[in-house]
Homo-oligomer: A and B are copies of this chain.
């Protein structure tokens, strides 16, 4: 518990540590399941002080959703691989960003809770965390269809399909507690391979297409 600062802090510091403490609680128990008393305790301050910084509990929640926008550097890496037409790399990047063990697990819970509980900022949160990905991916897929490298598919649907595979994987793992018996790299590569080349075996033509999947 990082609740060890009864010392004075500036307004901005307090606000930040409040947001940090509350984020964990909201992600764990949802908006309705979290009390302001718990938040204050987790931040190591009195309940009254919480309301000096945020007029209502909802306002604190909104501040959290508004703050966690991230994304950023990943899109650059994607952009670069897109220029090189490195299909495998792009899909691996996106999948990895969603499955990678280091990724903050609270964000997914926060996102789901906010959507289920119907918070007003949920749409924005969803847009910043998910929509960007499948919009960018859809654009790339369209490009590759035009190149003639991909089959004639609906780019948006295909993008959603791929991201769906991998988000669902995380969902199973983090929300439903399904154990993942394969390594992270292995899993990502399997998903990418599956999506790019499909399930049906290609009868022996000259191509060395059958990548090992183990």
> Closest B-chain residue to A151, C-beta based?
B201
Q: A30 an interface residue at 8 Å Cβ cutoff?
A: yes
A182 and B154: CB pair below 8 A? yes
Interface segment out of the listed A15-23, A43-51, A64-72, A158-166 = A158-166
B153 and A190: CB pair below 8 A? yes
Which residues of the partner chain B approach A157 to less than 8 Å between Cβ atoms? 182, 187, 190-191, 194
Which residues of the partner chain B approach A177 to less than 8 Å between Cβ atoms? 123
A interface residues, how many (CB within 8 angstroms): 61
Interface of A is mostly: helix
Q: A199 an interface residue at 8 Å Cβ cutoff?
A: yes
Interface segment out of the listed A2-10, A74-82, A111-119 = A111-119
A198 and B201: CB pair below 8 A? no
Q: A102 an interface residue at 8 Å Cβ cutoff?
A: no
> Closest B-chain residue to A115, C-beta based?
B175
CA distance A22 to B171 in the complex (A): 26
Q: A113-B116, A164-B165, A177-B123 are in contact. Are A154 and B213 (CB under 8 A)?
A: yes
Which residues of the partner chain B approach A198 to less than 8 Å between Cβ atoms? 151, 194-199
Q: A149 an interface residue at 8 Å Cβ cutoff?
A: yes
A150 and B201: CB pair below 8 A? yes
Which residues of the partner chain B approach A164 to less than 8 Å between Cβ atoms? 164-169, 171-172
Q: A1 an interface residue at 8 Å Cβ cutoff?
A: no
Q: A133 an interface residue at 8 Å Cβ cutoff?
A: no
Which residues of the partner chain B approach A117 to less than 8 Å between Cβ atoms? 29-30, 33
B112 and A197: CB pair below 8 A? no
Which residues of the partner chain B approach A30 to less than 8 Å between Cβ atoms? 30, 32, 116-117
Interchain Cβ contacts under 8 Å between A and B, 7 examples: A151-B198, A151-B202, A154-B214, A162-B165, A164-B169, A196-B200, A202-B202
